[in-house]
Structure 1
Protein backbone atom coordinates (compact mmCIF):
# COMPACT_ATOMS: atom_id res chain seq x y z
CA UNK A 1 0.00 0.00 0.00
CA UNK A 2 1.30 3.46 -0.93
CA UNK A 3 1.84 5.71 2.12
CA UNK A 4 -0.39 8.78 2.26
CA UNK A 5 1.01 12.09 1.09
CA UNK A 6 -1.34 13.85 3.52
CA UNK A 7 1.47 14.40 6.04
CA UNK A 8 3.25 16.62 3.48
CA UNK A 9 0.31 18.18 1.66
CA UNK A 10 0.19 21.96 1.86
CA UNK A 11 2.54 24.92 1.84
CA UNK A 12 5.69 25.13 3.94
CA UNK A 13 7.99 28.08 4.59
CA UNK A 14 11.72 27.69 5.03
CA UNK A 15 12.75 27.39 8.69
CA UNK A 16 16.47 26.84 8.04
CA UNK A 17 18.94 25.92 5.30
CA UNK A 18 22.14 24.96 7.08
CA UNK A 19 25.14 22.77 6.45
CA UNK A 20 27.02 20.43 8.78
CA UNK A 21 30.74 20.43 8.01
CA UNK A 22 32.93 17.31 8.30
CA UNK A 23 34.37 18.67 11.57
CA UNK A 24 30.86 18.70 13.07
CA UNK A 25 30.36 22.47 13.03
CA UNK A 26 27.17 23.89 11.56
CA UNK A 27 26.79 26.96 9.37
CA UNK A 28 24.34 28.61 7.03
CA UNK A 29 24.17 27.23 3.49
CA UNK A 30 22.17 30.12 1.96
CA UNK A 31 23.20 33.10 4.05
CA UNK A 32 21.97 34.36 7.41
CA UNK A 33 18.34 34.92 6.33
CA UNK A 34 17.40 32.44 3.62
CA UNK A 35 13.87 32.36 2.31
CA UNK A 36 11.94 29.63 0.60
CA UNK A 37 8.75 27.75 -0.01
CA UNK A 38 7.87 24.06 -0.44
CA UNK A 39 4.45 23.16 -1.80
CA UNK A 40 2.97 19.67 -2.09
CA UNK A 41 -0.43 18.86 -3.59
CA UNK A 42 -2.71 15.91 -2.81
CA UNK A 43 -1.14 13.83 -5.62
CA UNK A 44 2.44 14.34 -4.41
CA UNK A 45 3.47 16.95 -6.98
CA UNK A 46 5.86 19.40 -5.38
CA UNK A 47 7.76 22.62 -6.05
CA UNK A 48 10.61 23.79 -3.82
CA UNK A 49 12.50 27.08 -3.83
CA UNK A 50 15.36 28.18 -1.52
CA UNK A 51 17.07 31.55 -1.91
CA UNK A 52 19.92 33.36 -0.20
CA UNK A 53 18.23 36.69 0.54
CA UNK A 54 21.61 38.44 0.29
CA UNK A 55 22.08 37.62 -3.40
CA UNK A 56 23.27 40.83 -5.09
CA UNK A 57 21.05 42.52 -7.63
CA UNK A 58 22.32 42.83 -11.20
CA UNK A 59 23.89 46.28 -11.64
CA UNK A 60 22.50 46.69 -15.19
CA UNK A 61 18.97 45.84 -13.98
CA UNK A 62 18.76 43.55 -17.02
CA UNK A 63 19.17 39.77 -16.64
CA UNK A 64 20.65 39.47 -20.13
CA UNK A 65 23.48 41.87 -19.17
CA UNK A 66 24.67 40.28 -15.95
CA UNK A 67 28.35 39.88 -15.27
CA UNK A 68 29.88 36.42 -14.75
CA UNK A 69 30.11 37.20 -11.02
CA UNK A 70 26.42 38.21 -10.89
CA UNK A 71 25.36 35.03 -12.69
CA UNK A 72 27.49 32.90 -10.36
CA UNK A 73 26.03 34.54 -7.25
CA UNK A 74 22.50 34.17 -8.64
CA UNK A 75 22.80 30.43 -9.32
CA UNK A 76 24.90 29.57 -6.26
CA UNK A 77 22.43 31.45 -4.05
CA UNK A 78 19.44 29.32 -5.01
CA UNK A 79 18.23 25.76 -4.99
CA UNK A 80 14.95 25.08 -6.77
CA UNK A 81 13.36 21.96 -8.14
CA UNK A 82 10.00 20.33 -8.82
CA UNK A 83 8.55 16.90 -9.52
CA UNK A 84 6.84 14.33 -7.31
CA UNK A 85 7.55 13.32 -3.73
CA UNK A 86 6.54 10.25 -1.73
CA UNK A 87 6.73 9.76 2.02
CA UNK A 88 7.38 6.50 3.88
CA UNK A 89 6.67 6.95 7.60
CA UNK A 90 7.95 3.43 8.37
CA UNK A 91 11.48 4.24 7.15
CA UNK A 92 11.25 8.01 7.76
CA UNK A 93 12.20 8.72 4.14
CA UNK A 94 11.11 11.19 1.53
CA UNK A 95 11.67 10.17 -2.09
CA UNK A 96 11.91 13.04 -4.55
CA UNK A 97 11.58 12.30 -8.27
CA UNK A 98 13.11 15.46 -9.75
CA UNK A 99 11.63 16.61 -13.07
CA UNK A 100 13.14 20.11 -13.30
CA UNK A 101 15.88 21.87 -11.34
CA UNK A 102 18.10 24.95 -11.32
CA UNK A 103 20.91 22.36 -11.17
CA UNK A 104 20.39 20.43 -14.43
CA UNK A 105 22.30 17.36 -13.20
CA UNK A 106 19.46 16.69 -10.73
CA UNK A 107 16.83 16.42 -13.46
CA UNK A 108 15.56 12.88 -13.90
CA UNK A 109 17.08 11.71 -10.61
CA UNK A 110 15.48 10.05 -7.61
CA UNK A 111 16.69 11.42 -4.28
CA UNK A 112 15.94 9.75 -0.95
CA UNK A 113 16.23 11.80 2.23
CA UNK A 114 15.75 10.79 5.85
CA UNK A 115 13.34 13.11 7.62
CA UNK A 116 11.93 13.96 11.02
CA UNK A 117 8.57 15.57 11.67
CA UNK A 118 8.18 17.50 14.91
CA UNK A 119 4.71 19.03 15.01
CA UNK A 120 4.57 21.44 12.08
CA UNK A 121 8.31 21.30 11.36
CA UNK A 122 9.71 18.95 8.73
CA UNK A 123 13.48 18.56 8.56
CA UNK A 124 15.81 16.38 6.52
CA UNK A 125 19.37 16.07 5.38
CA UNK A 126 20.63 15.81 1.84
CA UNK A 127 23.39 13.41 0.78
CA UNK A 128 26.90 14.60 1.56
CA UNK A 129 28.63 16.78 -0.99
CA UNK A 130 32.04 15.79 -2.39
CA UNK A 131 33.72 17.99 0.26
CA UNK A 132 31.84 16.17 3.05
CA UNK A 133 29.37 18.97 3.84
CA UNK A 134 25.85 17.75 4.60
CA UNK A 135 23.01 20.17 3.79
CA UNK A 136 20.28 20.33 6.47
CA UNK A 137 16.88 21.73 5.56
CA UNK A 138 13.87 22.55 7.69
CA UNK A 139 10.36 23.64 6.74
CA UNK A 140 7.51 24.99 8.88
CA UNK A 141 3.96 24.26 7.77
CA UNK A 142 2.01 27.41 6.95
CA UNK A 143 -1.42 27.56 8.50
CA UNK A 144 -4.40 28.07 6.16
Structure 2
Protein backbone atom coordinates (compact mmCIF):
# COMPACT_ATOMS: atom_id res chain seq x y z
CA UNK A 1 0.00 0.00 0.00
CA UNK A 2 1.27 3.45 -0.90
CA UNK A 3 1.76 5.82 2.01
CA UNK A 4 0.75 9.45 1.64
CA UNK A 5 3.36 11.98 2.71
CA UNK A 6 3.20 15.74 2.80
CA UNK A 7 6.06 17.53 1.10
CA UNK A 8 7.19 18.93 4.44
CA UNK A 9 7.27 15.45 5.97
CA UNK A 10 9.25 14.05 3.06
CA UNK A 11 11.77 16.82 2.80
CA UNK A 12 12.23 17.30 6.54
CA UNK A 13 12.51 13.63 7.42
CA UNK A 14 15.06 12.85 4.73
CA UNK A 15 17.10 16.05 4.95
CA UNK A 16 17.24 16.13 8.74
CA UNK A 17 17.48 12.41 9.48
CA UNK A 18 20.80 11.46 11.01
CA UNK A 19 22.61 8.70 9.17
CA UNK A 20 21.68 5.57 11.08
CA UNK A 21 23.98 3.24 9.16
CA UNK A 22 27.38 2.23 10.39
CA UNK A 23 28.01 0.08 7.31
CA UNK A 24 26.49 -0.38 3.86
CA UNK A 25 26.16 -4.05 4.84
CA UNK A 26 23.10 -3.07 6.90
CA UNK A 27 21.22 -2.47 3.64
CA UNK A 28 22.02 -5.91 2.20
CA UNK A 29 18.91 -7.69 1.01
CA UNK A 30 15.95 -7.22 -1.27
CA UNK A 31 13.74 -4.14 -1.12
CA UNK A 32 10.39 -3.43 -2.78
CA UNK A 33 9.28 0.01 -3.93
CA UNK A 34 6.72 1.77 -1.75
CA UNK A 35 6.71 5.17 -3.46
CA UNK A 36 8.33 7.01 -6.35
CA UNK A 37 7.11 10.56 -5.86
CA UNK A 38 8.15 14.03 -6.88
CA UNK A 39 8.42 17.15 -4.71
CA UNK A 40 7.46 20.09 -6.93
CA UNK A 41 9.03 23.52 -6.55
CA UNK A 42 5.90 24.75 -4.71
CA UNK A 43 6.38 21.98 -2.10
CA UNK A 44 3.50 19.81 -3.25
CA UNK A 45 4.04 16.09 -3.79
CA UNK A 46 2.81 14.23 -6.85
CA UNK A 47 3.25 10.71 -8.17
CA UNK A 48 6.27 10.41 -10.45
CA UNK A 49 5.79 6.83 -11.68
CA UNK A 50 2.01 6.56 -11.55
CA UNK A 51 -0.33 5.43 -8.80
CA UNK A 52 1.09 1.92 -8.43
CA UNK A 53 4.79 1.93 -9.33
CA UNK A 54 6.70 -1.34 -9.28
CA UNK A 55 10.29 -1.65 -8.22
CA UNK A 56 13.01 -3.80 -6.79
CA UNK A 57 16.31 -2.86 -5.16
CA UNK A 58 18.78 -5.67 -4.47
CA UNK A 59 21.94 -4.94 -2.45
CA UNK A 60 24.62 -7.49 -1.57
CA UNK A 61 26.81 -7.41 1.55
CA UNK A 62 29.58 -5.62 -0.36
CA UNK A 63 27.29 -2.83 -1.58
CA UNK A 64 26.81 -4.01 -5.18
CA UNK A 65 23.26 -3.12 -6.19
CA UNK A 66 20.67 -3.37 -8.92
CA UNK A 67 17.68 -1.01 -8.92
CA UNK A 68 14.58 -1.00 -11.11
CA UNK A 69 11.54 1.31 -11.03
CA UNK A 70 8.62 0.93 -13.45
CA UNK A 71 5.48 2.95 -14.00
CA UNK A 72 2.55 0.49 -13.96
CA UNK A 73 0.65 2.52 -16.57
CA UNK A 74 3.22 2.10 -19.36
CA UNK A 75 1.72 1.57 -22.82
CA UNK A 76 1.86 -2.04 -23.99
CA UNK A 77 3.38 -2.58 -27.42
CA UNK A 78 0.88 -3.60 -30.10
CA UNK A 79 3.46 -5.95 -31.61
CA UNK A 80 5.15 -8.89 -29.92
CA UNK A 81 8.35 -7.66 -31.61
CA UNK A 82 10.01 -5.10 -29.33
CA UNK A 83 11.91 -3.66 -32.30
CA UNK A 84 8.65 -2.84 -34.09
CA UNK A 85 7.35 -0.43 -31.43
CA UNK A 86 5.91 2.94 -32.28
CA UNK A 87 7.43 6.23 -31.11
CA UNK A 88 4.70 6.50 -28.44
CA UNK A 89 5.36 2.95 -27.22
CA UNK A 90 9.12 3.57 -27.01
CA UNK A 91 8.58 6.89 -25.23
CA UNK A 92 6.28 5.28 -22.67
CA UNK A 93 8.76 2.45 -22.06
CA UNK A 94 11.75 4.76 -21.60
CA UNK A 95 10.07 7.50 -19.57
CA UNK A 96 8.16 4.92 -17.53
CA UNK A 97 11.24 3.20 -16.18
CA UNK A 98 14.44 3.94 -14.32
CA UNK A 99 17.09 1.29 -13.84
CA UNK A 100 20.70 1.37 -12.77
CA UNK A 101 23.31 -0.84 -11.16
CA UNK A 102 26.76 -0.52 -9.69
CA UNK A 103 28.32 0.00 -6.27
CA UNK A 104 26.63 1.73 -3.32
CA UNK A 105 28.76 3.26 -0.58
CA UNK A 106 28.13 5.17 2.61
CA UNK A 107 30.11 8.41 2.72
CA UNK A 108 29.68 11.51 4.85
CA UNK A 109 26.21 10.48 6.01
CA UNK A 110 24.99 10.06 2.43
CA UNK A 111 24.42 7.12 0.13
CA UNK A 112 26.67 7.30 -2.92
CA UNK A 113 25.55 5.41 -6.02
CA UNK A 114 28.57 4.68 -8.24
CA UNK A 115 26.56 3.97 -11.40
CA UNK A 116 28.08 1.49 -13.84
CA UNK A 117 25.05 0.79 -16.04
CA UNK A 118 21.78 2.71 -16.41
CA UNK A 119 18.70 2.94 -18.59
CA UNK A 120 19.60 6.65 -18.87
CA UNK A 121 23.09 6.44 -20.42
CA UNK A 122 24.12 9.89 -19.14
CA UNK A 123 24.23 8.46 -15.60
CA UNK A 124 26.80 5.79 -16.46
CA UNK A 125 30.17 6.47 -14.87
CA UNK A 126 28.72 9.05 -12.47
CA UNK A 127 28.42 9.12 -8.69
CA UNK A 128 25.07 10.29 -7.34
CA UNK A 129 24.70 11.30 -3.71
CA UNK A 130 21.47 10.77 -1.78
CA UNK A 131 20.36 12.20 1.55
CA UNK A 132 18.46 9.39 3.21
CA UNK A 133 16.48 8.10 6.16
CA UNK A 134 16.89 4.48 7.23
CA UNK A 135 14.73 2.78 9.85
CA UNK A 136 15.88 -0.83 9.42
CA UNK A 137 12.81 -1.85 7.44
CA UNK A 138 12.42 1.28 5.32
CA UNK A 139 14.87 3.28 3.21
CA UNK A 140 13.80 6.70 1.94
CA UNK A 141 16.02 9.01 -0.10
CA UNK A 142 15.95 12.15 -2.21
CA UNK A 143 17.27 11.93 -5.77
CA UNK A 144 19.21 14.96 -7.08
CA UNK A 145 16.93 17.73 -8.34
CA UNK A 146 15.93 17.67 -11.98
CA UNK A 147 16.59 20.60 -14.30
CA UNK A 148 13.08 21.96 -13.59
CA UNK A 149 13.81 22.05 -9.84
CA UNK A 150 11.61 19.10 -8.88
CA UNK A 151 13.07 16.49 -6.50
CA UNK A 152 12.27 12.79 -6.87
CA UNK A 153 11.76 10.77 -3.68
CA UNK A 154 12.17 6.99 -3.53
CA UNK A 155 10.82 4.94 -0.64
CA UNK A 156 11.75 1.26 -0.27
CA UNK A 157 10.59 -1.42 2.19
CA UNK A 158 12.71 -4.43 3.09
CA UNK A 159 10.97 -7.62 2.00
CA UNK A 160 9.57 -9.74 4.83
CA UNK A 161 11.80 -12.42 6.27
CA UNK A 162 15.02 -10.43 5.83
CA UNK A 163 16.21 -9.15 9.16
CA UNK A 164 18.22 -5.95 9.27
CA UNK A 165 21.91 -6.69 9.72
CA UNK A 166 23.64 -5.65 12.93
TM-score tier, shorter chain, comes to over 0.9
Q: Partner of 1:19 in structure 2? A: 38
Aligned pairs, how many? 140
Give distance in 1, aligned partners of 2:146 and 2:139. Answer: 21
Deviations 1:22-48 (A, max 9, x none): 011100110000000000001110000
Segments of 4+ moved more than 6 angstroms? none
- SS of 1:38's equivalent? strand
- The 3-state SS of whatever aligns with 1:143 is coil
TM-score, scaled to structure 2? 0.81
The 5-angstrom pairing of residues 124-135 of structure 1 reads 124-135=141-152
Q: Is the 8 A contact 2:102 2:115 kept in 1?
A: yes
TM-score by length of 1: 0.94
Q: How does 1:1-144 map to 2 (within 5 A)?
A: 4-88=23-107, 91-144=108-161
Structure 1 SS opposite 2:131: strand
Gaps of 5+ in 1: none
Q: Provide the alpha-carbon RMSD of the alignment.
A: 1.0
More strand by share: 1
